[in-house]
Amino acid sequence: MKNNCTGVILAGGRNSRFAGKNKALIRIDGKRILDRIYEVLSLLFDNIMLVTNDPLQYMEWDFEMVTDIFPIRSSLTGIHAGLFYITTPYAFFTACDVPFLKKELVETLLSGIEPNIDIVTPETSKGYEPLCSVYSRRCLKPIERHIENNSFKIQQIFQTVRVKKISENILRTVDPDLSSFLNINSPDDLNGVKQISTHFTEVPH
């Protein structure tokens, strides 16, 4: 699977609720969120790509860095850029603000890849997790059409391609707290994460 899938980190957000502070560089228990994500992805993928419109902030990492092709900032345009530039048939996408992404959960998603499936996505009681999912490069054209029609909701893509859903019961066998999906959107989220961070495993095994 290492040779068939690229790990892609989306880091193109405006961080507006953090007054422009880069969430990927926030430290939790002394370690930057991006370092935590990189540790996990480096165990799973030979190729790791970062989608960002500000590459100078990330020069110390050994990433392939690409920027959005469409001049509109959204998660969907970030996914589009990743799919456009990868050289593998599949890509696993994650946001840059998830400090507790678990290797075992990513492996569970990767094990769901099938030749006739375009997206492998977690499905919990809260819905899909499109920013913690595997996408086939076949999704590139459908995504382009949605962007060109000013439709930027990722889950609308799910209605036009073949999706495999990984159930919450399966996900909890490898990530009991579903902590892989815990992201930091605001200072309140950060405070909450810092209070519970010792509850989660920090080092992938």
Task: Please write the tens of the pLDDT for every residue from 31-82.
Answer: 999 999 999 999 999 999 999 988 999 999 888 999 999 988 899 999 999 9
Residue that the structure tokens 């002394």 belong to: 30
Q: Is 94 exposed, middle or buried (0-12, 13-18, 19+ CB in 10 A)?
A: buried
| Half-sphere CA count of 53, side-chain side, radius 13 A | 14
Q: What is the pTM of this model?
A: 0.89
Residues of the chain with pLDDT under 50: 15-17, 199-205
Question: Is residue 66 a contact partner of residue 58, using CB atoms and an 8 Å limit?
Answer: no
pLDDT at 17: 46
Residues 57, 63, 66, 72, CA torsion sign: negative
Distance CA 193, CA 189 (A): 6
